[in-house]
A = this chain, B = another copy of it.
Amino acid sequence: MPDPRFFTAAGPFTLERLAGIAGAELATGADPAAEFADVAPLDTAGPGDVSFLDNKKYVGTFEASRAGACIVHPDLASRAPPGMALLVTPKPYLGYALVAQAFYPVPAPKPGISPRAVVDPTAEIGEGTEIGPGAVIGAGVRIGARCRIAPNAVVGDRVEVGDDTTIGACASLSHCLVGSRVTIYPGARIGTDGFGFAMDPAGYVRVPQLGRVIVEDDVEIGTNSTIDRGAGPDTVIGRGSMIDNLVQIGHNVAMGPGCVIVAQSGISGSTQLGHHVVLAAQAGLAGHLKIGAGARIAAKAGVMRDIPPGAEVGGVPSVPMKQWLRQVAVLANLTRGKSTRLKEE
């Protein structure tokens, strides 16, 4: 059971209702009226809990689980232990996400401005929005309805924020327009100067960064991530994109909708991503590239050329995924006995 200090469960829900929420079918033998009070991982779930199996790595745990109900792919349903009620769906992780959201909806903001917040009198704050202690809201800021501005967050002058958006503790925003249903996690920095300067015998000369950051609707920006504003054009984070922690996005980057940027990745200035591009962890893209829609960049890859739509690449500098796997295999061979001969030829 999730720690009640931090989480409050809704429910209980009947199996029938849960199947509806999950978009799943009840397997034969499951009682539609049976009630479940919570979600839990396979290894700790009990008879009153709903669990899920998504990663095949955990089939053994599934077989031994005491969960009363489980959301599972049809291909793995037969591995269930006896007596477990099954919610069968080709997308068990999606099903679990929806069921877990039903049990644990995001807490609503507590409307009102803390007397310990600092809100400029020219700022416009929407109905139902919560502004926590220590938050600083600048001149001319516009914040929509039902937003949550967490303690010690800073929203710079004339920034605009849509509805139902959360700005985490100690995050800071400037020079940006943020959509609705956006989550900006604690410590994220949006809209700071891009890294632009020109050489001069007397030192580097700062190039004024005159663009903005546009954060479209339904975006998430992870903890302590940094997104520079554009130098002239804007930096754009496309609708529904998910950016993980400690990610760096350079000036003028334009990202289509639905991109996924995993932790500690970086995108250099002016690079353009189509929709649904995926960067795995610690990957990097050089500047001024075009990355086609649906391209997938492996963890730790370093991309120095344009990538066509749908391509998968890995390595530094990155090459097509199959070629990278061959490189890895060849290197392995060269260093297992073969290598000696090669060197002595």
Measuring CB to CB, which residues of chain A are less than 8 angstroms from any residue of chain B? Answer: 2-3, 5-7, 39-41, 44, 55, 57, 91, 93-94, 96-98, 100-101, 103-104, 106, 114, 116, 118, 132-134, 136, 140, 150-152, 154, 156-158, 168-172, 174-175, 183, 185-187, 189, 192-193, 195-200, 203-208, 210-212, 218, 220, 222-224, 226, 228, 231-233, 240, 242, 244-246, 248, 250, 258, 260, 262-264, 266, 268, 281-282, 284, 286, 288, 299-300, 302, 304, 315-317, 319, 323, 326-328, 330-336, 338-339, 341-343, 345
Contacts and interface: CB of A to CB of B under 8 A. Distances in A.
B223 A192 contact: yes
A187 B224 contact: yes
Given A266-B264, A333-B343, A133 B118 contact: yes
B6 A175 contact: yes
A330 B330 contact: no
Contact of A204 (B5, B6, B242, B336): B242
Most chain B C-beta atoms within 10 Å of own C-beta, residue among A6, A106, A334: A6
Contacts of A118: 114, 116, 133-134, 151
Contact of A326 (B193, B248, B335): B335
A203 B181 CA distance: 13
A185 B175 contact: no
A7 B210 contact: yes
A330 B302 contact: no
Contacts of A339: 326, 330
Contact of A334 (B44, B189, B200, B330): B330
Contacts of A299: 284, 286, 302, 304
Nearest to A264: B266
Contacts of A343: 330, 333, 338
B232 A39 contact: yes
Nearest to A133: B118
